[in-house]
Amino acid sequence: MEKFLDFIVRAGSLDRRYIFVVIALVVMLPLFFPLNLPIRPTVSSQTIYDTVEKLESGDKALVSFEYGPSTKPEIHPMAIALLRHLFEKDVKVYITCLWPDGQFMAMEAIQQVAVNQYQKVYGEDYVLLGFRPGNEAVIKGLVSNFRKVYTVDAQGNFLDDIPMMNGINKVADFDYLFSASAGYPGTVEWVQYAADPTGVTMGTGTTSIQVNEVMPYVQAGQIKGILGGMPGAAEYEKLIGQPGIGTSGMDAQSVAHIVIVGFIIFGNISFFVERRRSKKY
């Protein structure tokens, strides 16, 4: 017994590089040997799905890309799933970017979903307006006059020449607003400067870390539903019935969480054993 306790105490001050190796393994292995755990949608993901489901063919949705490569694994799958749902419903999609890298992410998503999967027509079914710097000031500008901020789209075409831009002059002209956001500027700013002042229905997909900051907005009804991180994306993929990157990452995610919880519990056991000993001596 004494020896076992000794081991536990010593394991408590283990070189952290052993922990790194364990984490690398538990994340890597399920990617090679999937477990196919069933996914269960949470209430907030279901809300997003229901809201989009209510949109009708020809409705206009503004989707804003506010993430970059650093958070791509979390947000990109949900952006793709949402675009799939919107195109499935024949909703017109307008894409803006408040992060410079967002434009690249949007291009990738468009190539995959709009061009390859649904063969949508640029300028009639979707448009990529591109990135504008200025954070919340850009949103404020879009709310009052869309055409001041964007005179050309990302490819340099004039907005007046794009058929689907007809009748779009401010954010209030849209039926749905979605922010795929990884931080500032992002969801919070869209709520403050666009959704609250105009009353346009808004949904959001955020990194896991942001979920907590955004939850009060969701509870107060300022945002209708939220997709949280990669699990949120997996849930949405499940809802639209098209499994993607999010779903394939869930096994690794599950196993890693279990292992980390195990670490926490073991760390605490070792902590208690040590504390009891130091009391004795």
Partner 1 sequence: MKDKQFWSVAGIIFVLFMIYWVAGHPYFVSERSVMFWSILIVGGVLIYSTRMAKRGEKIFLRTIPGLKAVEEAVGRSTEMGKPVLYVPGIMDMDQVETVAGVVVLGHVAKMTARYETSLNVPVSRAIVMKAARESCRESYLLEGRPDLFHNDMVHYLTDDQFAYAAGVNGIMLREEPAACLYMGKFYAESLLLAETGNSIGAIQIAGTASPSQIPFFVTACDYTLIGEEFFAASAYLSQEPELIGGVKGQDTLKIMAVAVMLLATLFNFFHDLNMISWDVLGFLTVQ
Partner 2 sequence: MNGSEIFGAWVAVFLTLGIFSYLYKDNPFYKIAEHVFVGVSAGYWMSMFFWTQIQPNLFGRLWPVPEGAISGFFMRTWYGIYNFFGVLLPSVFPDGGIDKGHGTHPHFIYIIPFILGVMMLLSVVSKWSWFARLGIAYTVGMAAGLRAYAFLNSNVLVQLKGSAVSFVGLDWFSLTDASIINNVIILIGTITGLLYFYFSKEHKGTFGKVTRVGIYFLMISFGASFGFAVMGRISLLIGRFTDLITYGSSTYNYASLWVLLLMIGLLAVWTFKGDKKVAS
Partner 3 sequence: MFMKRQLPIAIAAIIGFLTLFGWFVDEPNIKSFVDDDATQWFDILASFAIFLGALNLLKLQALKIIKKQKGWPYAALAIVGFTFSFTAGFILLGSYNVEISQYDDPAKVATVLASEINLDEKSAENILIAMPEGDTYTIDTPYFTKSGADDVVEKINAAGGTANMRATEWGSHISTRGSLFNWMFRFIFTPLSATMFALLAFFVASASYRAFKIRNFEATLLLISGIIIMLGRVPIGGNISSWFIMYIIVLSLSAGVNTWFKNRKYTLASVIGGILIVTIAGMITGWPVDQPAIFYLPVLQDWIYNVPNVAGARAIMIGIGLGIFATSIRYILGIEKSYIGE
What SS3 class is residue 118? coil
Evaluate whether 276 touches 12 at the Cβ level (below 8 Å): no
Residues between 182 and 211 that touch partner 1 (CB under 8 A): 196-199, 209-210
Taking CB under 8 A as the rule, does residue 199 contact partner 2?
Answer: no
Residues between 5 and 44 that touch partner 2 (CB under 8 A): 17, 20, 23, 27-28, 31, 43
In terms of DSSP H, where are the helices of 55-190?
72-88, 100-110, 136-144, 146-149, 187-190
Number of other CB atoms surrounding residue 125 within 10 Å: 18
Closest separation between CB of residue 99 and partner 1, Å? Answer: 16
Integer Cα distance of 50 and 47 in angstroms = 5
* One character per residue 105-134, x = contact with partner 2 (rule: CB under 8 A): -------------------------xxxxx
Taking CB under 8 A as the rule, does residue 210 contact partner 3?
Answer: no
Taking CB under 8 A as the rule, does residue 49 contact partner 2?
Answer: no
- Nearer Cβ to partner 2 (83/188): 188
Closest separation between CB of residue 126 and partner 1, Å? Answer: 28
Taking CB under 8 A as the rule, does residue 140 contact partner 3?
Answer: yes
Taking CB under 8 A as the rule, does residue 278 contact partner 1?
Answer: no
**For residue 81, which of 125, 132, 45, 34 has the smallest C-alpha distance?**
45
Taking CB under 8 A as the rule, does residue 104 contact partner 3?
Answer: yes
Taking CB under 8 A as the rule, does residue 234 contact partner 3?
Answer: yes
> Could you say which of 68, 77, 203, 205 contacts partner 3 (CB under 8 A)?
68
Number of other CB atoms surrounding residue 212 within 10 Å: 10
Residue 207's contacts (CB-CB under 8 Å, 6 or more residues apart) are: 67, 71, 74, 75, 181, 182, 183, 229
# chain residues binding partner 1, by CB under 8 A: 9
Taking CB under 8 A as the rule, does residue 212 contact partner 1?
Answer: yes
Give the helix, strand, coil percentages of the chain, each rounded to 5.
60, 15, 25
